[in-house]
């Protein structure tokens, strides 16, 4: 009987604990819901308007920068008598695409989203911003951008944000990046015995050689140049950079239509004996030479592993975009220097023909944010987007917190950020290699071929590269043919846009702003079709000329 | 007795109101709503609204266009038939008839360019006659410009028609009575084709300059066009004063662009050679 009583008492105690736990979980859930929704002030104050901004930028400083901008914005709106709460959601890039599509399809997306995906997705789910970009950004009052339209206030006049398939701006850009070489200064000084960082390729190769020898002498696994071998990102950056340094002059004379040159033009010149194919192969030689100083297993090393190796102190130089600069400098247990990719110089056997560094002006502008059509707070979302891309606030977020460059004009940089600024003290622009310029497959196969050249170190890397290029020619031709079919498919879509815009013009009141916008977009659409005609003709030309190319040592030598 | 009857009356009235609310805009508002949804490229909504007014030209036009361009419910054959009926009917209101014609002509033209995919399915429609008719029905209009643009490219591709096509192109610009802001895309096409087919830089540059002076709608095209103008004057026509003028204008308008550094280099070259033509 006593045993029974004890059991009942125990059961009663457990029940009480269970009830207490259930209540505690309930209270915790309520707190979490309130917190996630924006806090007590939002839940219990129906006048407070809430908007959400979502992105995939998890780099150091970005979220903190957005938080700082949010605090400023809420304060500014409160001063206007408007109660606003802005929430920030950061989603890792690997899951962002699915999360983003689910949000958009689900019909209740964040009010401001960092955009990704095809033009069709943007057109279906995002608000066209063309009606607003011609207006001044009210948050730029009293700044050097005060008299510019929103569009003109961007360093590239918003061209990076234009969706050419739909002739529309679905987003605006928030930051800018360049590619730089990060240097472990401690290792550099120990290994080379000097403080002056390399400016030329000859100096760089010499420093790498010394680092390698230093590793052998000190029995340390020193890797002079750390590369993202797995996705071949660094190979592409180096190949593109040295190709431009060696062949940028082809843009002056290569095309009958204007400045710049296409793969078809270059192959045509080779077939006509006007251009030596060896010239186009010289960048292969440079990258193969640099490749001696990569890690032995570089093709299997990805970005995170490279960063880990750099932080471990065994990598001398690490090439990457400035998006990683802050975390590289901040988190490394040694001093980090930043330099531009060294320039081909007269002392190098190929340097006599090189043109020096290439400008980076107008490139690398990204971080596009748009407003979904389903937002319930369009005016507020637009206002916050303008706030985020205003002169002072964009610098607060990007420059002060992230150590990233702003996408806007009239921004001055100081200290280490001076080294990130786009190269301007040159008169040359980049030119794409005909080996990478005909499509994504061509680009991938070129990088694979470079990787093979680095691993095998053939006697004549140029011939090795050319022979392999010709061996995959049928695949490359097929890719260009498929690209042309893609252009024709795009022309169908563009006619859909033409039709919709024509109806838009028809139903708008004469002289209305809406009508003017439809008319402008209709012209953009037709101008875009001329570009598509050019693309089709270029593709036809490149196929014709690619098929005529001969073995190494024959035409074009 | 009174109360139950009143309850029934209120219930039915409520049900009636609810049904009315479900059906969306009233009949007279459906056509504008369908056209508005179509203009916003909201094909799902436009198609739904068009189905409510199947006997009106607007309903038929939007249905036909959605059949062609809404890739989630595409039915090209049916769409082209609907548009052909509208286009060949003189009683169709002119704006609907013209848009039906341009869309029918252009899709038929594109299908003939992809016989690997569409075979002879579009051969029943004579797109050249359709475009010609649109040009006659709406001279100087946006639809007329579009039709002429599509026809011109096709005619220039054919060596037998090329000379006549270039003459017609010049005549079109000369005789154009409509809104001049419709012309820049055609000037852009003319610039490209004069270089591609004739290497006639003088005429090409004239067209580029006329297009630029009116203003291209795409800011990218405006920027690229200005640089190209200066470049072609410099490198192809050796007209240094004009090259100087346009390179300087480029630097004022686009100092942050990648090609600004090239413009500066060319200006130096022009300065070294002297600015006299």
Nearest to B66, CA basis, from B26, B25, B27, B107: B107
Predicted pLDDT of residue A66? 96
Q: Which segment of A240-249, A298-307, A543-552 scores lowest on mean pLDDT?
A: A298-307
Q: Would you say residue B276 has pLDDT above 60?
A: no
Per-residue pLDDT band for A19 (boundaries 50, 70, 90) equals: confident
Interval A117-146: pLDDT, tens: 888 889 889 998 888 888 899 999 999 999
pLDDT of residue A88: 96
Tokens representing B111 are 């299908």
CA dihedral B30, B33, B34, B37 (to 10 degrees): -160
Residue in A with minimal Cα distance to B108: A492
Lowest mean pLDDT among A5-9, A350-354, A410-414: A5-9
Which of the four pLDDT bands, split at 50, 70 and 90, describes residue A26?
confident
- What average pLDDT does the segment A147-154 reach? 92
Q: What pLDDT score does B72 carry?
A: 84
Residue A112 pLDDT more than 50? yes
Pairwise CB contact (< 8 Å): B149 & A526: yes
B 222-261 residues inside an 8 A Cβ radius of A: 223-224, 227-228, 231-232, 235, 254, 256-261
Q: Do A429 and B41 touch (CB under 8 A)?
A: no
pTM comes to 0.83
**What is the CA B214 to chain-centroid distance, rounded?**
17
Q: With bands split at pLDDT 50, 70 and 90, how would you rate the model's confidence at A43?
A: low
Residues from chain B contacting residue A167 (CB–CB below 8 Å): 217-218
The mean pLDDT of chain A is 91
Q: In what order do the strands lie in the sheet with A315-321?
A: A223-226, A315-321, A179-184, A336-339
Which pLDDT score, from 0 to 100, does residue A28 have? 81
User: What residues of chain A lie within 8 A of the CB of B184, using their CB?
Assistant: 523, 527
- Judged against a pLDDT cut of 90, whether residue A8 lies above it is answered with no
- In Å, how far are A390, A392, A406 from A399, measured between CA atoms? 13, 10, 7
- Distance of alpha carbon B65 from alpha carbon B67, whole angstroms: 5
Second CATH level (architecture) for the domain A179-359+435-469: 3-Layer(aba) Sandwich (3.40)
Reading the block at residue A542, the tokens are: 């490149």
Residues 6+ apart with CB under 8 A from A483: A438, A439, A539
What is the average pLDDT across B242-258?
Answer: 92
Topology (CATH level 3) of domain A42-173+366-411 = D-Maltodextrin-Binding Protein; domain 2 (3.40.190)
Contact by Cβ (8 Å): B30, B52: yes
The rounded percent of chain B whose pLDDT value lies above 70 is: 88
Distance CA(A299)–CA(A320), nearest Å, equals 16
**Which residues, at least 6 apart from A49, have a Cβ–Cβ distance to it below 8 Å?**
A82, A83, A84, A85, A377, A380
Average pLDDT over every residue of A388-407? 94
Percent of chain A residues topping a pLDDT of 70 = 96
Please give the average per-residue pLDDT across A80-98, as a whole number: 94
Residue A513, pLDDT score: 86
Structure confidence at residue B14 as a pLDDT band (50, 70, 90): very low
Query: Please, which pLDDT band fits residue A324 given cuts at 50, 70 and 90?
Result: confident
| Residue B57 pLDDT level (bands cut at 50, 70, 90) | very high
Mean pLDDT for A423-432 is 90
Q: Is A54 exposed, middle or buried (0-12, 13-18, 19+ CB in 10 A)?
A: buried
pLDDT of B24 higher than 80: no
Q: Give contacts of B196 with chain A, Cβ < 8 Å.
A: 256-257, 537
Asked if B68's CB is within 8 angstroms of A523's CB, the reply is: no
Half-sphere exposure in the Cβ direction for A110 (13 Å, CA) = 24
Instruction: Provide, rounded to the nearest whole percent, the portion of chain A with pLDDT above 90.
Output: 67
Distance from CA of A128 to the nearest CA of B (A): 10
State how far the Cα of A53 lies from the Cα of A281, in Å rounded to an integer.
47
Task: Return the pLDDT at A557.
Answer: 58
Q: How, if at all, do strands A112-114 and A49-55 pair? A: parallel
Positive or negative CA dihedral for B230, B232, B235, B240?
negative
| pLDDT for position A39 | 64
């Amino acid at each position: 009987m006593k045993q029974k009583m004890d059991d009942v008492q125990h059961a009663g105690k457990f029940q009480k604990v269970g009830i207490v736990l259930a209540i505690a979980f309930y209270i915790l859930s309520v707190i979490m819901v309130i917190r996630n929704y924006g806090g007590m002030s939002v839940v219990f104050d129906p006048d407070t308007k809430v908007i959400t901004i979502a992105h995939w930028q998890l780099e150091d400083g970005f979220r903190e920068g957005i938080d700082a901008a949010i605090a400023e914005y809420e304060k500014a709106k409160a001063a206007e008598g408007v109660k606003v709460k802005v929430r920030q959601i950061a989603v890792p890039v690997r899951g962002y695409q699915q999360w983003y599509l689910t949000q958009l399809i689900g019909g209740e997306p964040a009010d401001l989203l960092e955009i990704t995906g095809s033009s069709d997705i943007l057109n279906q789910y995002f608000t066209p911003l063309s009606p607003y970009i011609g207006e001044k950004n009210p948050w730029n009052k009293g700044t050097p951008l005060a008299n510019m339209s929103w569009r003109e206030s961007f360093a590239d006049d918003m061209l990076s944000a234009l969706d050419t398939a739909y002739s529309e701006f679905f987003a605006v850009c928030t930051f800018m990046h360049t590619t730089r070489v990060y240097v472990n200064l401690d290792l550099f000084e120990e290994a080379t015995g000097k403080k002056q960082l390399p400016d030329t390729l000859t100096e760089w190769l010499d420093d790498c050689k010394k680092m390698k020898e230093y590793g052998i002498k000190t029995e340390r696994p020193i890797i002079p140049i750390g590369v993202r071998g797995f996705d071949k990102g660094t190979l592409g950056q180096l190949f593109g950079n040295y190709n431009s340094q060696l062949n940028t002059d082809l843009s002056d004379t290569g095309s009958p239509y204007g400045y710049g040159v296409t793969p078809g033009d270059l192959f045509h010149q080779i077939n006509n004996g006007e251009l030596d194919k060896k010239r186009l192969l010289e960048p292969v030689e440079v990258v193969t030479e640099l490749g001696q100083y990569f890690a032995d297993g570089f093709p299997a090393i990805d970005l995170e592993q490279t960063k880990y190796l750099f932080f471990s102190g065994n990598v001398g130089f690490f090439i990457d975009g400035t998006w990683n600069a802050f975390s590289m400098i901040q988190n490394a247990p040694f001093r980090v220097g930043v330099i531009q990719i060294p320039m081909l110089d007269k002392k190098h056997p190929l340097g006599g023909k090189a043109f020096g560094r290439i400008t980076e002006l107008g490139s690398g502008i990204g971080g596009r944010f748009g407003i979904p059509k389903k937002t319930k707070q369009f005016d507020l979302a637009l206002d916050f987007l303008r706030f985020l891309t205003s002169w002072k606030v964009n610098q607060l977020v990007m420059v002060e917190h992230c150590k990233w460059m702003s996408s806007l004009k009239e921004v001055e940089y100081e200290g280490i950020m001076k080294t990130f600024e786009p190269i301007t003290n040159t008169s040359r622009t980049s030119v794409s290699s005909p080996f990478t310029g005909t499509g994504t497959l061509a680009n991938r196969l070129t990088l694979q071929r470079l990787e093979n050249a680095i691993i095998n170190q053939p006697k004549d890397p140029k011939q090795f590269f050319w022979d392999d290029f010709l061996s995959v020619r049928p695949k490359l031709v097929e890719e260009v043919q498929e690209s042309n079919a893609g252009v024709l498919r795009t022309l169908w879509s563009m006619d859909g846009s033409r039709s919709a815009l024509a109806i838009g013009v028809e139903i708008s009141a004469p002289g209305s702003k809406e009508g003017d916008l439809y008319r402008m977009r209709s012209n953009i659409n037709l101008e875009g079709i001329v570009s598509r005609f050019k693309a089709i003709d270029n593709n036809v030309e490149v196929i014709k000329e690619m098929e005529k190319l001969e073995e190494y040592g024959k035409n074009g030598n | 007795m009174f109360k139950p009857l009143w309850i029934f009356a209120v219930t039915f009235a409520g049900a009636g109101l609810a049904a009315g609310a479900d059906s969306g805009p009233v009949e007279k508002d459906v056509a504008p709503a369908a056209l508005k949804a179509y203009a916003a490229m909201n094909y799902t909504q436009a198609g739904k609204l068009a189905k409510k007014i199947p006997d009106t030209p607007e309903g038929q036009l939007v249905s036909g266009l959605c059949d062609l361009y809404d890739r989630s419910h595409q039915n090209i054959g049916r769409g082209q038939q609907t548009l052909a009926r509208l286009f060949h009917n003189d009683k169709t209101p002119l704006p609907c008839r013209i848009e039906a014609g341009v869309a029918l002509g252009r899709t038929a033209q594109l299908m003939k360019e992809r016989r690997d995919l569409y075979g002879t399915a579009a051969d029943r429609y004579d797109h050249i006659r359709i475009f010609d008719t649109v040009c006659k029905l709406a001279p100087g209009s946006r639809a007329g410009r579009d039709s002429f643009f599509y026809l011109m490219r096709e005619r220039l591709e054919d060596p037998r028609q090329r000379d006549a096509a270039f003459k017609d192109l010049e005549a079109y610009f000369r005789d154009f009575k409509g809104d001049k802001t419709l012309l820049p895309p055609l000037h852009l096409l003319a610039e490209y084709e004069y270089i591609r087919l004739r290497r006639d830089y003088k005429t090409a540059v004239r067209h580029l300059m006329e297009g630029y002076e009116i203003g291209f709608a795409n800011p990218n095209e405006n920027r690229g066009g200005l640089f190209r103008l200066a470049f072609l004057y410099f490198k192809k026509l050796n007209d240094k004063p004009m090259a100087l003028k346009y390179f300087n204008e480029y630097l004022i308008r686009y100092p942050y662009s990648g090609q600004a550094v090239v413009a500066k280099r060319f200006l130096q070259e022009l300065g070294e050679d002297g600015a006299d033509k």
